[in-house]
A = this chain, B = another copy of it.
Amino acid sequence: MTALAFSTSTASTRRELLELLCSPEFERTLEQSRADHRADVRRWLKILGEKGYGALGFAKEYGGAGNQPAALATFETLAYHDISLCIKYGVQFGLFAGSIDNLGSPEQKAKYLRDAGHAHLPGCFAMTETGHGSNVAGLCVTATYDPDTDELIVNTPGRHAYKDYIGSAAEDAQMASVFAQLHVGDENHGVACVLVPIRDQDGNLLDGVHAEDDGAKAGLNGIDNGRLAFDNVRVPRTNLLSRFGDITEDGEYTSPIENPNKRFFTMLGTLVGGRVSVAAAALSAAKSALTIAVRYSDSRKQFGPPDGEEISLLDYLTHQRRLFPRIARTYALRAALDHLAYRFSTDDPEDHPARREVELLAAALKPQSTWHTLNTIQECREACGGQGYLTENRFADLRNDIDIFTTFEGDNTILLQLVGKERLKAFQQEVKAGGARALAAIAAEEVEQWIKRRNPIARRDESIYTDPDAMGEAFDYREARALLNLANGFNSDRRKKVPALESVISHQCDLVHYARAYAERLIFCTFRESLGDDPDEGLEKLLHLYALERLENDRGWWVEHLYFSTGVSAGLRSEVNRVCKSLRPHAVDLVNAWGIPDQLLMAPIATLPFARNERILGGSRGTSGEGVPACSKAKSTQTLPVA
């Protein structure tokens, strides 16, 4: 199965879910109290659980459908509806049930997964603490084995160690997957996950469990995020999720993975599904925003030729520049995220190198997708002017909900550094091994030779503007060269005996830049591949626009590395303009192709029939519904600034 076939395989899941979301019981209220919003989301979650959407990804023996792609498609589709619901779904089924599925033994899965997967056992995922978010290894909650009672004692050592921002912790969860330092005997075996019951079925907190509400947030207010603290709470030894580490009846710690560091990262690695999911869900929000903004800008008119009719906002180059490259990037990211979902769903989880690569892809693409989406929503808001500021037109909620996507499931800036680190390590290993394979293996001399072969004069040719091979080579080159620069930088520090932390800090920005180069190359390649040998003309334009705009954005880098001549670099701007102009006739079709139902889009500026919509679409061409004649053009013929 190809990534494309994979993506279409979920079509029926998407279609049926969209139908459900458009049904009256899923009707949304845009302005409501936090309590009402939470109640709606809770109700919707129950319906999804009952209908089996929560268990789609789990094995049939545990009440699931064994259909990971369908689970991903569900999450992504929910983001067209209320994003609070999408994330609440992710908390219950992806994080809480997922922690049991990924970290539990077969017995533990048999015991809990059916209930968790159908929302009969509401749970939460208690990893982050107030004092430790990105640095998971530094978590402070402890789980200490007590051989006298054969129990684990879960304890929060101070306010900084409260589990914090935990979805469903403030009100709904009855059980928590608690990440804690596991102490057995005198030894700390590092972070492990323990199931801790926190509320009874009536919602009363259990003894020793303390919960606080995180209160109002910028967005996602349909979710009851909160803090949890444990005052020496005792749970049976068997509540330790034991796939990667167990305590025997004799009180001995055992693990199939000897090395604690490796164990830690293997455990975290199984949770990569969350990152894959949020990257995809973010993009759904970008599609909603672009659909609204493009439809409105197409019908809204302002200014025009002297003494002529006003023209559509979308006819202006500045407006095209705001929206079209973002459409292109959304399409391109879609292809890359399909590729990631395909790899995630079909790779053998026991194939460790393949798994590491999935983690790498997710760490590289999640920042791309979430930053792109946040930036796109804002640009769309501004492109719709005052209308964009009204809550009914959706941008406010989209932005406020998506905002935290750049932080959760891994802070974007930290993730990019991890990508840099991983790729650098792989590169160094390849170099040591003397091999030379694929990109990671382009060793120093090779890059230097490459540069000599392609001297600046050669790059003065303008094939880069239209030839996908040339575009791809530019991305390849940047990625390889940036990696080499990184390796040289760290090597030089090592020779100078610069302390490790100081060395890393001084190269942080280079790690981030490299990771972006890696991701943008990947996105270009997967998008290109997804188009096949005989691509549709509109999609091919999008491929070019994606590449040209990214090349323009970082063109200083290519010029500095003598890859582009200054002339080729200077020409990129008008090439981007050219492709934007050529996409004008296709713009509305390109966003409509995403197929978001009007009922989910909601925004009046994008969905009301034109006849009812005159108030909103404006312009001076029409007549009012009340039979009043259109206003006459003012004598003053102010147009856009003309020199």
- A231-244 CB mask vs B (1 if < 8 Å, else 0) is 00000000000000
Whether A302 and B135, one on each chain, are in contact in the complex, defined by CB atoms closer than 8 angstroms, is yes
Q: Are A316 and B508 in contact (CB under 8 A)?
A: yes
Q: Let me know if A438 is at the binding interface, CB within 8 A.
A: no
Within 8 A of B (CB), among A131-159: 131-142, 156-159
Q: A218-B395, A302-B132, A406-B382 are in contact. Are A630 and B158 (CB under 8 A)?
A: yes
> Which residues in B have their C-beta under 8 angstroms from that of A181?
631-632, 634
How far does the alpha carbon of A404 sit from the alpha carbon of B395 in the complex, in Å? 12
A residues 258-283 touching B (CB-CB < 8 Å): 260-261, 264
Tell whether A385 is near chain B: CB-to-CB under 8 Å: yes
Whether A160 pairs with B620 at a CB distance below 8 angstroms is yes
User: How many residues of A are counted as interface, with CB atoms below 8 angstroms from the partner's CB atoms?
Assistant: 138
Contact A504 B640, beta carbon cutoff 8 Å: yes
Interface centre among A391, A508, A631 (most CB of B within 10 A): A631
Shortest Cβ distance from A31 into B: residue: B216
Instruction: Find out whether the CB atom of A260 lies under 8 angstroms from the CB atom of B636.
Output: yes
User: How far is A511 from B506 in the complex, measured between Cα atoms in Å?
Assistant: 38
C-alpha spacing A305/B138, complex, angstroms: 13
CB pair A630–B157 under 8 Å, yes or no, is yes
Residues A135 and B638 in contact, CB atoms below 8 Å apart: yes
Within 8 A of B (CB), among A542-595: 555-556, 559-562, 566-567, 569-570, 573, 577
- In the complex, chain B residues whose CB is within 8 Å of the CB of A392: 215-216
| Contact among B303, B318, B385, B421 for A641, CB-based, below 8 A | B421
Please report the C-alpha to C-alpha distance between residue A160 and residue B385 in the assembled complex, in whole angstroms.
15
- Could you tell me if B389 and A641 are in contact, using CB atoms closer than 8 angstroms? no
| Residue contact B128 to A638, C-beta cutoff 8 Å | no
**A617 located at the interface, meaning its Cβ lies under 8 Å from any Cβ of chain B in the complex:** yes
Question: Contact partner of A624 among B132, B160, B500, B632, CB < 8 A?
Answer: B160
Considering only residues 359-403 of chain A, those with a C-beta below 8 Å from chain B are: 374, 378, 381-382, 385-386, 388-392, 395-396, 399-400, 403
A156-173: which residues lie under 8 A (CB-CB) from chain B? 156-162, 164-165
Once A188-B632, A317-B505, A389-B403 are accepted as A-B contacts, the answer to whether A638 and B138 lie under 8 Å apart by CB is yes
Interface 9-mer from A106-114, A329-337, A410-418: A410-418
Nearest neighbor of A387 in chain B, beta-carbon distance: B130
A102 at the A/B interface (Cβ < 8 Å)?
no
What residue of chain B has the Cβ atom nearest to residue A412's Cβ?
A: B382
Q: How far is the CA of A396 from the CA of B628 in the complex (A)?
A: 43
**Given A138-B638, A555-B556, do A573 and B215 touch, yes or no (CB 8 Å)?**
no
Question: A635: nearest residue on chain B (CB-CB)?
Answer: B188
Residues of B within 8 A of A131 (CB): 617-620
Contact A389 to B418, CB < 8 A, known contacts A140-B620, A302-B135: no
Jot down 14 A-B pairs with beta carbons below 8 A, ordered by A.
A131-B620, A134-B385, A138-B302, A140-B630, A160-B617, A160-B618, A165-B386, A217-B390, A218-B389, A260-B635, A315-B505, A417-B641, A559-B560, A562-B566
Which of A's residues lie within 8 Å of B, judged by CB? 30-31, 128-142, 156-162, 164-165, 181, 188-191, 214-219, 260-261, 264, 302-306, 310-311, 315-318, 321, 374, 378, 381-382, 385-386, 388-392, 395-396, 399-400, 403-404, 406-408, 411-414, 417-418, 420-422, 424-425, 428, 486-487, 490, 499-501, 503-506, 508-509, 511-512, 555-556, 559-562, 566-567, 569-570, 573, 577, 614-620, 622-626, 628-643
